[in-house]
Structure 1
Amino acid sequence: MILTPENLRALQAGFNAAFVRGIESVQPSYQQIAMTVTSQAQAENYGWMKDLPGMREWVGPRVINNLESVGAYLENKPWEHTIGVDRFHVEDDRLGIYTLKFSQQGELVARHPDVLTWSLLRQGFTQAGFDGQPFFDADHVGYGQDGNETSWSNLQAGAGAPWFLMDLSRTYLKPLVFQERQRPEFVYKTRPDDDNVFFENQLIFGASARYNAGFGFHQLAFGSRAALDADNYQAGRVALASQYGPDGTPKAVTATHLVVGMSNAAAAAELLQAERNAAGATNIYRGTTQLIVSPYLA
Structure 2
Amino acid sequence: MPTKVMNQAEFDALKTTLKARWNAGLALSKEDWKLVAKLVTSSSAANTYAWLSQFPAFREWVGARQHQKVKEQAYTVKNRKFETTVDVQRTDVEDDNLGHYGTLAESAGQAATDLKNDLIFQALAAGFAGTCYDGQYFFDTDHPVFPNADGTGEAVSVSNMQAGAGAPWILLCTKRAPAPIYLQERIAAQFDSLTSPQSGKVFDEDVYSFGGRWRGDAAYGFWQCAFGSKAALTADNFEAAYMAMMKFQGDGGKRLGIVPDTLVVGPDNLAAAEKLLKAAQNANGSSNTNYQKVGLVATAWM
TM over 0.5: yes
- Cα shift readout 1:216-267 (whole Å, capped 9, x = no counterpart): 1110111111111111111101110111222322111011112111221111
Structure 1 unaligned residues grouped into runs of 5+: none
Indicate conservation of the 8 Å contact 2:52/2:70, yes or no.
Answer: no
The partner residue of 1:156 within 159, 162, 175 is: 162
Contact 1:53 1:245 survives alignment (8 Å): no
Distance 1:26 1:256, change over 3 A: same
Instruction: Choose which of 111, 116, 127 in structure 1 pairs with 2:114.
Output: 111
* Superposition pairs of residues 139-218 of structure 1, within 5 angstroms: 139-142=142-145, 149-170=155-176, 172-218=177-223
User: What residue ranges of structure 2 are gaps of 5+ in the alignment?
Assistant: none
Q: CA 1:103–1:269 in 2, change beyond 3 Å: closer, same or farther?
A: same
Tell whether the 8 Å contact from 1:54 to 1:247 is kept in structure 2 after alignment: no
Q: Is the 8 A contact 2:128 2:140 kept in 1?
A: yes
CA shift for structure 1 position 190: 0.8
Give the length in aligned residue pairs. Answer: 295
Contact 1:28 1:114 in 2 (8 A): yes
Structure 1 residue 151: deviation in Å?
1.3
TM-score normalised by structure 1 residue count: 0.93
Cα pair 2:51 2:133 within 8 Å, conserved: no
Superposed displacement of residue 79, structure 1:
1.3
Q: Tell me which of 19, 22, 29 is aligned to 2:22.
A: 19
Find the aligned partners of 1:245 and 1:66 in 2 and give their Cα distance: 11
Runs ≥4 residues deviating over 4 A: 143-148
Query: Identity of paired residues, percent?
Result: 34
Offset, 1:52? 4.1
Q: Give the equivalent residue in structure 2 for 1:259.
A: 264
Which of 58, 62, 67 is residue 63 of structure 1 equivalent to? 67
Distance 1:130 1:49 in 2: 10
- Tell me whether 1:3 sits opposite 2:6 in the alignment: yes
TM-score w.r.t. length of structure 2: 0.91
Quote the RMSD (CA, aligned, Å): 2.0
Question: 2:41, 2:184 within 8 Å by CA — same for their partners in 1?
Answer: yes
Whole-angstrom distance in 2 between the partners of 1:294 and 1:154: 22
The CA distance in 2 between the partners of 1:143 and 1:26, in whole Å, is 43
Contact 1:52 1:65 in 2 (8 A): no
The aligned amino acid for 1:29 is D
Q: Using the alignment, how far apart are the partners of 2:254 and 2:52 within structure 1? A: 17
